[in-house]
Chains A and B, each alone.
Chain A
Amino acid sequence: MYDRPVLDVDDALKLVDAALAASGDTKQPLAIAVVDDIGDWTAFVCTDGTPSFNREHARRKAYTAAITGRDLQEFVTARTQSGRLLADLGNPRFIGSAHGGVVVKDAAGNVIGALGVSGATPEEDERIARAALTAAPVLGAGGAA
């Protein structure tokens, strides 16, 4: 038996709010998904008028980052170097994007979930995701100051 760090809903909501704040534009269509370490949803929001395409993408970005334990940029780079196709991995829920999906770690560096952002340009999705992580660091179980 061992202790497993778990992402809490308060941390997930802080990440979601930090991402909305980082966007800075309430008119921007934006979907933000936070999942736990096995890719199950923990929090999700989308701004008014966000297309279904982006809602689904935010979820898939978060899921892919959580399951692989890697930021999407790193995952895409590693996969490209290995010469494998996304389909070779055999998981139909994976997404091939390289932007807007980052892992969420606790204070000890354990991957406890992931954050996915979709709605703006790929570069802007990525910036928002990273800004949210910086603005709302997850302390995790026992990590609170």
Chain B
Amino acid sequence: MSHMRKTLGLAETRAAINAMLAKARDMGGRPVALVVCDDRGDVICQIAMAGVNAALARQNAFKKAYTSAVMRIDTQGFEERVKDMPGGVAYFGNPSFFAGGGGAVLVVGDGTVIGGIGVSGRTNEEDEEIAQTGKATLLASLSPA
């Protein structure tokens, strides 16, 4: 039977992207790529700062957002989950999966996963801090307080 599903929209996504860009600049450091995708891994908004690592950042920011959304777990937690699996993250055979900090799953009050955020360009710890800022901003912008 068909039903309606809560789906991530542009307004809250842009709020998160803006907050993360500001956070990345406040922290200072290397340029970063930022991705916010919906629950199926389709990108709603993404930006890359000039000079971002061409080999890694764009791809990894997407992979982190995608992995957290479709596996329904922050990529840091995903790293824990796969660490004892045969072959680690390669076990899944999905080249878009990423295990490590910088990806945050977006879950609303009733437990529905509406998407994921991915940040890449700095250390996993710094990427993670920026991603969590985006997650907090996005979820706060959804609740009418």
Residues of A within 8 A of B (CB): 6-9, 12-13, 40-48, 52, 55
Contacts and interface: CB of A to CB of B under 8 A. Distances in A.
B50 A44 contact: no
Nearest to B43: A44
Contact of A6 (B21, B42, B46, B50): B50
A48 B48 CA distance: 22
B27 interface: no
Secondary structure of the B side of the interface?
mixed
A52 B42 contact: yes
Contacts of B10: 45-48
A47 B50 CA distance: 24
B58 A9 contact: no
Contacts of B45: 43-46
Contacts of B43: 44, 46, 55
Nearest to A32: B45
Nearest to A30: B10
A6 B51 contact: yes
Contacts of A43: 45-48
Given A9-B49, A12-B47, 6 more contacts: A9-B50, A40-B48, A40-B54, A40-B58, A46-B45, A55-B42
A83 to B, nearest CB: 36
B44 interface: yes
The 8 closest A-B pairs by CB, nearest first: A48-B9, A45-B45, A43-B47, A9-B49, A8-B50, A44-B46, A6-B50, A9-B47
